[in-house]
Structure 1
Amino acid sequence: MGMANALGYVVVMLLSRPLGPGEFGGYTALSTYGVLLSIPAGVFQVVVARRLSGDDPAEPTSALRPALFVGCGCFVVTAAISPALAQWFELPSFWAAVLLGGMLVPMMVTGCLQGILLGRGRLRALSALYVVNAGTRVVAAACCAVIGADVTGVFAAMLLAGIATAAVGAWLCRAELRALPRTARLARELVRSNSTLAAYIALINVDMLLSRHFLSAHDSGGYALASTFGRAMCWGTQFVALIIVPRMQGTRPTRTLLQASAVVTAIGVVGFGVVSISPQGWIEAAGGADYRQFGDLALLCVVLGTAWALAQVWLFSEMGSNTGWLSRLTWLVIAGEVVAISVHWHASPAQLVWVCMAGALIVAAAGFVQVVVRHQATALPDESVIVVADAPRA
């Protein structure tokens, strides 16, 4: 999975140079829209994994039928508003948005397939599917860079990559697909988990939409590449958050959660150390000399990405335990970020980073405080926070 995340970063490197800051900003903005619509894919993965973990009382399912329904619905909506999206994001053609909508169908299916592999504990196969997903995108990006494709061509290539990934995933899960029912009663779980995952996705992407609006085209493109260093921290640690989802139904979920947070923090420290060696050199290697001035911003974004990754662990754990308190707080934090940036802190890219960093740390800290509150409510002063939080309750 770490290799898959590294390959995802290679895609950015391959596309940022030929597109340039202006077009790359438009590509990133439309991709951000796609990320928001692809939220159900991650939810299907979590719900299916929880159903197959053996600790959830609900019936197992592959959820393929509702996934196809949701994917087709997202495609229809995106195709209908594609002219408006093209104008809003300054795209060369509305076909870029239509192709993006088409990508959502195989993405939903792949989410279910990843959930099957995760729930069955087939982590090697899951990692292989992640690598295939990233690898096909790298091939698509490389082809686009060679032929000089514009944004529309890039999304056409990514659609083919998504279809190939779904096909490989179906082959890996062929035995489970024959045995598992394709549908089940998922509406309540999907809505609850959608809210949690949507909150996280919005938390790590709202800055891109705001930067495109408040910053110049050049600065928004530079911000898009610099923020990729932060998102790389999320990609690089997502395997930690995903692995804890089935374990939140176990006997000691809080110990697992705190250990996961420690691992994420350690990875963030290593990432900061690596990028701090030469921030300008790293971002120039990623996008070329046009982006060199954003080197210090990239280093700051690594810290932001670590804060995002910590929030990711706590929010994913909430999906694993099927609760919703932290997601509601996250939506309030996002609203606060939008207001703060819109009203005052949008004079420079760094101001956007600081506001988003504060929001992510609030979410992560709130998750930890929740554990402390449980400890204080137990009236067992000699027990540790971990033991008390994990103790069974009547």
Structure 2
Amino acid sequence: MSGLRFRGELGSAALVSVALLGTNALAYGFTVLAARALAPAAFGELAALMSVLLVGSVPATGVQTVAALYLGGRDGDRSGVVRRLHATAGATGLVVTAAGVLAIAPAVVLLHLQDPAAMAWLAVLLFPHTLVAGYQGILQGTHRYGRLAAVAAGFGAAKLAGGTVGLLVGGTPTAALAGMTVGASVGAALGWAGCGFPGLRGRLRAPALAAARASAALLGFVLLLNLDLLLARHHLPAGAAGEYAVGSIVAKVAFWLPQGVGVVLLPRLADAGRRRRLLAPALALVAGVGAVLTLATAALGAAALPLVGGAAYGDSLGAATWCFAALGTLLAVAQLLLYSDIAAAGRLPGVLVWSAAVLEVAAVQVLAATGALSAVAVVATATLITAALVAAGLMRHRQERARTAPHLLAPEPSTGSPVPLPN
């Protein structure tokens, strides 16, 4: 029976991974289309706004994480909890949208935006983004992975289809974001239907605080996930930075390829006993998938980067493209460890992630000041620091297992979610 359950969970992980990879492939296609349809200055503006959207979506990820943990740690009737989590997602979306509206004037100045309406549309776009993250967390926590994959893929497709229509019809970043907002709203409505049309219920303090704590750690991780590319863009010559951007695609593939494992695992991390039993094999599975991709990239050698970006790329990185696959793999492992610490209501994981980001900035700055900086040096630095972060997370996991080792043979009651949520 356990073997059948494992195969079922592996199938669920594969299904969700395919949906997420498909959504990311659509996003990449939209980026290519925007680069061709817009003038360089307009494309730069849209790219900057998409980076703002990435940061603004972190609270949505926090809501999804907490919803999955709350529901994953509960048995029996969950309808009241689902309604409360739905209300939390809506309230969080309104707060994030209000923050986006307040950020319009600073963003126009800092990002040199030609049209303030572009930032206004982005602020509105954050609301359906947060809502659908809540729906995904509810489906994740109730183990409805087929619906989760459909909602995730449907939302991504609707948002990007709207953005494509806006881009082709209006031909401006503002039109693209307006189209994305309309498409995302349609996708969120479909997500509500896919989630079973949950209602609303009050008393949001506990889940809202849990989502805020999770968001603080996840924001640091989002920064770390993209930091090496930003540092390369800032410090390296334009050509080398362009090569680094192509190499980072390999890192993102290695990171996103096993994402379904974390999606299936997260709700089960709410229980301390399951966390001890399941985290190690999940880490091994993610590391194994990444190792295969890393070895394949290493076997391609200097041909790996031109295979991704074309014959114009490869001079700066040479045969070092495998480092990007290794970096993406380590980031995927670090994400699982971060989820585990969030589930245990730990405070250290956020500190560790933010410390790793600060250390990476400092190390690259030192290399730049000493004239030793190159594309290979940037990816090597990011890889080593992420490896140290993973080692610290594994040490914490080992310490937790050691503390509870005398009790492993005894029946373990479910510990529930990290923050009690009344029914």
Quick check: 90-99 or 32-41, which moved more? 90-99
The residue aligned with 1:71 is: 93
Match of 1:194 among 215, 224, 237: 215
The equivalent of 1:352 in structure 2 is 378
Deviates more, 1:144-153 or 1:251-260: 144-153
Q: Are residues 1:103 and 2:125 paired?
A: yes
Alignment partners' CA distance in 2, 1:360 and 1:111: 27
Q: Identify the residue that residue 174 of structure 1 maps to in structure 2.
A: 196
For the aligned residues, what is the CA RMSD? Answer: 3.6
Q: d(CA) in 2 for partners of 1:80 and 1:216? A: 35
**Structure 1 contact 249–320 (Cα < 8 Å) conserved:** yes
| Mean CA deviation greater in 26-35 or 16-25 | 16-25
Alpha-carbon shift at residue 245 of structure 1 (Å): 1.8
Q: Does 1:12 align with 2:12?
A: no
Query: Among 316, 340, 343, which residue is 2:363 paired with?
Result: 340
The Cα shift of 1:174 comes to 2.8
The alignment status of 1:256 with 2:278, answered yes or no, reads yes
Structure 1 match to 2:308: 283
Where does residue 349 of structure 2 map in the other structure? 326
Q: Taking structure 1 as the reference length, what is the TM-score of the superposition?
A: 0.82
Separation in structure 1 between the aligned mates of residue 25 and residue 322 of structure 2, nearest angstrom: 15
8 Å CA contact retained: 1:196, 1:318: no
- Return the offset for 1:31: 2.3
Q: What displacement does 1:53 show?
A: 2.4
What is the Cα deviation at residue 52 of structure 1? 2.0
Tell me by how many angstroms 1:257 deviates. Answer: 0.6
The whole-number CA distance in structure 2 between the counterparts of 1:198 and 1:204 is 10
The more displaced of 214-223 and 162-171 is: 214-223
Tell me the matched-pair count.
384
Shift of 1:70: 2.9
Whether the 8 Å contact between 2:293 and 2:325 is mirrored in structure 1 is yes
> In structure 2, how many angstroms separate the alpha carbons of the residues matched to 1:203 and 1:374?
25
SS at match of 1:174: coil
Letter in 2 for 1:355: T
Question: In the alignment, which residue of structure 2 is the partner of 1:184?
Answer: 204
Letter in 1 for 2:27: V
The TM-score normalised by the length of structure 2 is 0.77
Cα gap change, 1:166/1:316 in structure 2, threshold over 3 Å: closer, same or farther?
same
SS of aligned partner of 2:270 = coil
Contact 2:247 2:305 in 1 (8 A): no
Deviation, structure 1 residue 379: 8.5
Q: Deviations over 1:195-240 (max 9, x none)?
A: 2222222221233443443345565455444323322333222221
Match of 2:250 in 1: 229
Q: Percent identity?
A: 24
Please, which of 256, 260, 267 is the counterpart of residue 239 of structure 1?
260
CA contact (8 A) 2:143 2:264 kept: no
Q: Do 1:64 and 1:183's aligned partners in 2 also have CA atoms closer than 8 Å?
A: no
**Which AA in structure 2 matches 1:241?**
G
Partner of 1:32: 51
Distance 1:258 1:349, change over 3 A: same
Most deviating of 241-250 and 144-153: 144-153
| Amino acid in the other structure paired with 1:124 | G
Structure 1: gaps spanning 5 or more residues: none
* CA distance in structure 2 between the aligned counterparts of 1:42 and 1:223, rounded to whole angstroms: 27
* Distance in 2 between residues matched to 1:73 and 1:144, nearest whole Å: 26
